């Protein structure tokens, strides 16, 4: 009995302990339920957010594809601009070489002109000396005339005398001889004068021919300039349209870049959210795994406690049976004792026995109540355990559903990646097609480049002509100043020289011609100024185009960096997917181990185990599919690596282009400095040339004046000779030559009147020239103002050159950054090449397996061919058999028999032909030789 009490106490303590454990487990289960519900709510929210993010990602990917297309178009535009820039640089180098050659030629011409100027100055000095001598001779001749007049009066007085009549004959003879000599001299001088007139006419004809040629060249140049102006206008219009398109493209690019940046920020936010959700899911999975492990441990503990309790219950049942047997024995003994007591009448023993029986009955009733309470508690605990097991199973199923949903999401992500890869391939195909179109359009581009070359050549010619015309204008300004001084000198000479009528007429004609030349040069100067302004505007446009090209280059570099960043993100996502797959595989293995343990421990959960095994198989299949997708992703990574190579090549190309542009800009700056120096040097040379031209002009005028003076001197000499002859005639025959003297006086009076008229005309013309000189001085002041404006423009261009240098330094820094990024990309490319080699080895092994399969398949095909050959031989044998039957049987009497034989043989042949020969049924059935023979016989 004491043992029973002890056991009952132990059972009570165990029951209390189990109650405490059950309470703790119920509390834990409630907490787990709450946590599970919260996790389910969070998971649903995360799923909704993931769906939204997937939709937004699709939209963003579409926008990114559009932006990539736009960037590709811009890359093509950039390449065209770079080609045009290269063309411009080549043209600039050609122009520089031509300008150097022309400068050398101009220097040689300047040297020749300097030497000619020196000779002309020497001649002018000699002519001035001769002119002074001739003036002195004229004064002496005037004195001689006065003396001769006096002598004439004396001769008249002497003639009156009769004594001197004898001497008259001698004087007349001498005068006749002198007259003959003077006539010979006059003839000789007339011949010289004729020769001089012929030379003068030749020079005038040559001058007119040169003038006509110059006018023709001038008209041709004007026509070319007009054509070039029209072409320049058309090109400026085209350039304006292109600039507008470029501005639109730049605006669209800026808008797309802002959108792209906004999308990148959102994508990064979504990625961070996704990573947070994924981390939370992993934490929940780890918690779930830990809870599952705890549940398994608790189940094992409960099973152990159940087994112990079952053993205890069996022991209690055994004890109860033993006690019941003892009770029966005691009852039998009590009955025997009662009978004995009744017989012996022993009341004391009966009372003792009754007390014992009552105590035993109480103990028995207490044991029964305790057993019933324990059984009820155990049943309740078992029900609770079953409920917990069911609940945990439901939780397992829900978690498996969640895992399946996550796998579906993973598959959707992989499908999105495939779609993106397809889009990238489509974009690459489009890019290749555009490249092919660009290569096909190279011919058009070549024609356009040829036209551009021609236009650039014409522009260079115009620039050289502009420079020449500017130098001519400066020379003309210097000439104007010198001509003003010369005009004053000529005024003095005209006042001093009254007898220079022909010289003044020639000077007037030359002055009118110079006026025309000045007017034409002023008009041409205005025209060249307009062209210079247009060229400056074009230069500004070219500088703007260069700045835009630099900006586009920077944008392309940013896009390349962004693409590299996207590639890194794709690689990280692929690595995270690999890690997820590995984790899924490990979890599957853990689930397999747990399921195997449950199968060994619980026979009741076989059905659930089978279900879980099927689920695991499906998951394994899914993991295999995921592995295949990983292989595809690796292939896509390889394609992305190719794209990275392509982008690296593009970046290298862009860097080389940037370097070329930097060198081009430096060359342009050097050229600008050199051109400025050349402009200053040309201004100095123009001043020198102007001085040389003015000196030449002065020398020519002096030559002409000296020629006129020589002619007048010769005419004066002739007149002197005539005067001397007239004096002799007067002395010899005053009466006979009186009429001639009168005529000479009349001619002298006419000459004086003509001289007065010429003086008056020259004075009027000099006044008009002075007015024109004042107007020309005003124009010169305006031209000086324009020159100051041009100097200011050159100063602004120098500032722009400094700004370009600063931009070049910035570009160099950016190029250094790009080189660093390129090195980093090269390291990534090396890693990818290593992975590529591994994949290549795997592909080679697969290709070997494939070749072995092909060899096996070829052997099978050869066997099939052998079978077909055997079938054909069988058919030939059948044909020969049929022909023999046909020859043996008569054609007219046994047609029906032939048909029957043919049918029977045909059926036998069809029965004997194998499955491989049935393919040749059209060949065998389409022949029917007996029918053809029968038809021929009929």
Q: Which residue has the higher pLDDT, 500 or 929?
A: 500
* Cα 596 from Cα 637, distance rounded (Å): 39
Average pLDDT over residues 537-548: 64
Q: What is the DSSP letter of 735?
A: T
Q: How confident is the model at residue 927 (pLDDT cuts 50, 70, 90)?
A: very low
Going by the DSSP 8-state scheme, the letter that residue 1 receives in this structure is -
Q: Which of 16-25, 164-173, 514-523, 617-626 has the highest mean predicted lDDT (pLDDT)?
A: 16-25
Averaged over 862-868, what is the pLDDT? 72
Asked if 171 contacts 732 with a C-beta cutoff of 8 angstroms, the reply is yes
Q: How large is the average pLDDT for residues 848-872?
A: 72
pLDDT at 511 over 70: no
Better-scored residue on pLDDT, 878 or 726: 878
CB 656 within 8 A of CB 603: no
Q: How many CB atoms lie within 10 A of CB 644?
A: 21
């159940």: which residue's tokens? 306
Tokens of 260: 């792209």
Q: What pLDDT, on the 0 to 100 scale, is given for residue 147?
A: 73
pLDDT at 770: 66
Q: Please tell me the predicted confidence (pLDDT) of residue 217.
A: 76
Q: What is the spatial distance between Cα 429 and Cα 65, in angstroms, rounded to a whole number?
A: 13
Report how far residue 68's alpha carbon sits from residue 73's, in angstroms, rounded to the nearest whole number: 9
Tens digit of each residue's pLDDT (9 = 90 or more) over 566-593: 666 666 665 666 676 566 566 656 666 6
Q: Give pLDDT, residue 924.
A: 40
> Please, are residues 541 and 239 in contact by the beta-carbon 8 Å criterion?
yes
Q: Mean pLDDT highest for which of 31-35, 149-153, 241-245, 911-915? A: 31-35
Q: Is 733 left (phi over 0), alpha (psi -120 to 50) or beta?
A: beta
More confident call, 794 vs 232? 232
Binning pLDDT at 50, 70 and 90, where does residue 231 land? confident
The band of 262, judged by pLDDT with boundaries at 50, 70 and 90, is confident
Residue 455: other Cβ atoms inside 10 A: 15
Burial of 769 (0-12, 13-18, 19+ CB in 10 A): buried
Mean pLDDT of 821-847: 71
- pLDDT score of 896: 41
Evaluate whether 754 touches 501 at the Cβ level (below 8 Å): yes
Query: In a 3-state reduction of DSSP, which class is residue 892?
Result: coil
pLDDT at 462: 53
Least confident range from 283-297, 318-332, 423-437: namely 423-437
- DSSP-based helix, strand, coil % in the chain, nearest 5: 95, 0, 5
Structural contact between residues 253 and 74, judged by C-beta atoms closer than 8 angstroms: yes
As a whole number of angstroms, the distance between CA 720 and CA 727 comes to 10
Cβ–Cβ contacts within 10 Å for residue 214, how many? 10
Between 462 and 904, where is the model more confident?
A: 462
- Give the confidence band of 855 by pLDDT, cuts at 50, 70, 90: confident
In this prediction, residues 300-326 reach a mean pLDDT of: 72
User: Given a cut of 80, is residue 303 above it in pLDDT?
Assistant: no
Residue 933's pLDDT band (cuts 50, 70, 90): very low
598 with 605: CB under 8 angstroms? Answer: yes
**Minimum mean pLDDT range among 87-91, 304-308, 619-623:** 619-623
Q: Write down the pLDDT at residue 494.
A: 47
Mean pLDDT of 361-390: 68
Alpha-carbon distance of 389 to 73, in angstroms, equals 65
Instruction: Report the distance separating Cα 809 and Cα 666, nearest Å.
Output: 11
Q: At what angle do helices 2-159 and 606-732 cross, to 10 degrees?
A: 10
Q: Answer for the pair 885, 898: CB distance below 8 angstroms, yes or no.
A: yes
As a whole-number percent, the residues of the chain with pLDDT over 90 amount to 0
Q: What is the pLDDT of residue 334?
A: 61
**Planar angle of CA 725, 727, 729, nearest 5 degrees:** 70
The encoded tokens of residue 228 equal 């070039």
Among residues 7, 13, 15, the alpha carbon closest in space to that of 376 is found at 15
Joined tokens for residue 587:
């979890």
* Positive/negative CA dihedral, 302, 304, 307, 313: negative
| Residue range 68-111, pLDDT digits in tens | 777 677 777 777 777 777 777 777 677 777 767 777 777 777 67
Mean pLDDT of 657-675: 62
For residue 831, is pLDDT > 80?
no
Read off the tokens for 904.
């029977």
353 versus 208: the higher-pLDDT residue is: 208
Instruction: Tell me if residue 403 falls in helix, strand or coil.
Output: helix
With a pLDDT cut of 70, the percent of the chain lying above it is: 35
First to last CA, the chain: 125
At 538, list the tokens: 């074009």
Q: For the segment 234-248, what is each residue's pLDDT rounded down to a tens digit?
A: 777 777 776 777 677
Q: What is the mean pLDDT of the chain?
A: 66
- From CA 11, how far away is CA 689, in angstroms rounded? 134
pLDDT at site 591: 60
What average pLDDT score do residues 146-155 get?
Answer: 71
Whether the per-residue pLDDT at 938 is higher than 50: the answer is no
Question: For the residues 731-757, what does the mean pLDDT come to?
Answer: 58
Which residue, 295, 476, 471, is CA-closest to 399? 295
How much is the pLDDT for 890? 47
315: tokens are: 């022991």
| pLDDT value at residue 923 | 38
Work out the burial of residue 732: count CB atoms within 10 Å of its CB; fewer than 13 is exposed, 13-18 middle, 19 or more buried: buried
Q: What is the mean pLDDT of residues 783-796?
A: 68
Residue of 917, 914, 913, 883 lying closest to 901 (CA atoms): 883
Q: What is the pLDDT of residue 348?
A: 58
Locate 491 and state its tokens: 């005024």
């Amino acid at each position: 009995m004491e043992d029973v009490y002890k056991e009952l106490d132990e059972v009570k303590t165990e029951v209390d302990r189990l109650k405490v454990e059950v309470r703790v487990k119920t509390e834990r289960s409630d907490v787990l339920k709450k946590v599970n519900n919260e996790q389910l709510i969070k998971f649903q929210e995360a799923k909704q957010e993931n769906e939204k993010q997937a939709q937004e990602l699709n939209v963003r990917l579409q926008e990114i594809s559009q932006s990539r297309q736009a960037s590709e178009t811009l890359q093509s535009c950039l390449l065209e601009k770079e080609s045009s820039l290269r063309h411009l640089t080549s043209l600039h180098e050609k122009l520089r070489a031509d300008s150097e050659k022309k400068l050398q030629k101009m220097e040689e011409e300047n040297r020749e002109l300097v030497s000619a100027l020196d000779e002309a100055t020497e001649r002018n000095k000699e002519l001035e000396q001769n002119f002074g001598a001739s003036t002195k001779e004229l004064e002496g001749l005037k004195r001689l005339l006065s003396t001769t007049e006096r002598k004439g009066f004396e001769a008249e007085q002497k003639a009156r005398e009769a004594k001197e009549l004898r001497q008259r004959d001698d004087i007349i003879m001498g005068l006749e001889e002198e007259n003959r000599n003077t006539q010979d001299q006059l003839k000789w001088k007339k011949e010289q004068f004729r020769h001089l007139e012929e030379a003068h006419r030749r020079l005038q004809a040559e001058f007119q021919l040169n003038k006509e040629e110059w006018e023709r060249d001038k008209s041709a140049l004007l026509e070319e300039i007009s054509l070039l102006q029209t072409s320049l206008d058309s090109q400026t219009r085209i350039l304006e349209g292109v600039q507008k398109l470029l501005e639109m493209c730049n605006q669209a690019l800026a808008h797309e870049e802002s959108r792209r940046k906004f999308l990148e920020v959102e994508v990064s936010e979504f990625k961070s959210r996704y990573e947070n959700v994924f981390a939370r899911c992993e934490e929940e999975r780890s918690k779930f795994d830990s809870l599952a492990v705890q549940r398994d441990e608790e189940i094992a503990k409960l099973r152990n406690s159940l087994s112990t309790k079952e053993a205890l219950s069996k022991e209690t049942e055994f004890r109860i049976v033993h006690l019941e047997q003892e009770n029966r024995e005691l009852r039998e003994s009590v009955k025997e004792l009662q009978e004995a007591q009744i017989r012996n009448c022993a009341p004391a023993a009966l009372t003792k026995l009754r007390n014992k029986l009552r105590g035993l009955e109480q103990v028995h009733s207490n044991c029964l109540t305790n057993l019933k309470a324990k059984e009820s508690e155990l049943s309740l605990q078992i029900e609770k355990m079953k409920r917990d097991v069911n609940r945990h199973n439901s939780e397992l199923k829900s978690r498996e559903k969640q895992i399946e949903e996550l796998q579906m999401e993973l598959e959707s992500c992989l499908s999105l990646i495939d779609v993106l890869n397809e889009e990238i391939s489509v974009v690459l195909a489009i890019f290749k097609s555009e490249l092919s179109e660009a290569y096909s359009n190279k011919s058009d581009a070549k024609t356009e480049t040829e036209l551009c070359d021609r236009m650039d050549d014409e522009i260079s010619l115009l620039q050289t002509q502009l420079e020449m015309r500017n130098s001519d204008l400066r020379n003309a300004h210097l000439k104007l100043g010198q001509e003003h001084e010369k005009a004053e000198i000529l005024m003095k000479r005209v006042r001093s020289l009254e007898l220079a009528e022909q010289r003044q007429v020639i000077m007037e004609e030359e002055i009118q011609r110079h006026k025309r030349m000045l007017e034409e040069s002023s008009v041409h100067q205005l025209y060249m100024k307009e062209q210079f302004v247009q060229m400056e505007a074009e230069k500004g446009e070219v500088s703007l185009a260069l700045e835009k090209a630099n900006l586009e280059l920077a944008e392309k570099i940013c896009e390349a960096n962004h693409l590299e960043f996207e590639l890194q993100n794709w690689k990280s996502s692929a690595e995270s997917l690999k890690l997820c797959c590995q984790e899924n595989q490990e979890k599957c293995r853990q689930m397999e181990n747990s399921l195997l343990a449950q199968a060994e421990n619980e026979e009741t959960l076989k059905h659930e185990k089978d279900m879980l095994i099927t689920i695991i198989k499906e998951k394994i299949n899914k993991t295999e599919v995921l592995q295949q997708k990983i292989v595809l992703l690796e292939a896509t990574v390889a394609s992305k690596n190719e794209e990275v190579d392509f982008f690296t090549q593009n970046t290298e190309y862009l860097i080389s282009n940037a370097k070329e542009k930097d060198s081009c800009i430096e060359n342009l700056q050097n050229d600008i400095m050199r051109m400025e120096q050349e402009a200053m040097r040309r201004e100095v040379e123009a001043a020198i040339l102007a001085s040389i031209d003015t000196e030449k002009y002065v020398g020519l005028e002096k030559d002409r004046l000296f020629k006129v003076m020589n002619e007048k001197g010769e005419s004066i000499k002739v007149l002197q000779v005539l005067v001397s002859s007239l004096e002799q005639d007067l002395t010899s025959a005053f009466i006979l030559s009186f009429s001639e003297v009168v005529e000479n006086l009349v001619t002298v009076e006419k000459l004086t009147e003509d001289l007065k008229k010429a003086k008056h005309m020259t004075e009027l013309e000099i006044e008009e020239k002075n007015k024109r000189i004042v107007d020309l001085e005003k124009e010169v002041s305006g031209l000086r103002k324009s020159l100051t404006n041009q100097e200011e423009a050159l100063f602004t261009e120098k500032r722009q050159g400094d700004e370009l240098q600063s931009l070049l330094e910035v570009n160099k820094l950016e190029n250094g950054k790009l080189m660093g990024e390129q090195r980093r990309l090269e390291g990534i490319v090396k890693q990818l090449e290593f992975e590529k080699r591994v994949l290549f080895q795997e592909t080679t092994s697969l290709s070997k397996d494939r070749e072995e399969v092909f060899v096996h398949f070829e052997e099978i095909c050869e066997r099939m061919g052998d079978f077909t050959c055997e079938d054909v031989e069988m058919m030939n044998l059948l044909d020969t058999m049929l022909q023999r039957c046909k020859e043996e049987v008569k054609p007219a009497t046994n047609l029906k028999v032939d048909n029957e034989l043919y049918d029977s043989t045909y059926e036998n042949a069809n029965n004997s032909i194998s499955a491989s020969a049935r393919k040749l049924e059209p060949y065998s059935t389409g022949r029917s030789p007996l029918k053809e023979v029968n038809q021929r016989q009929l």
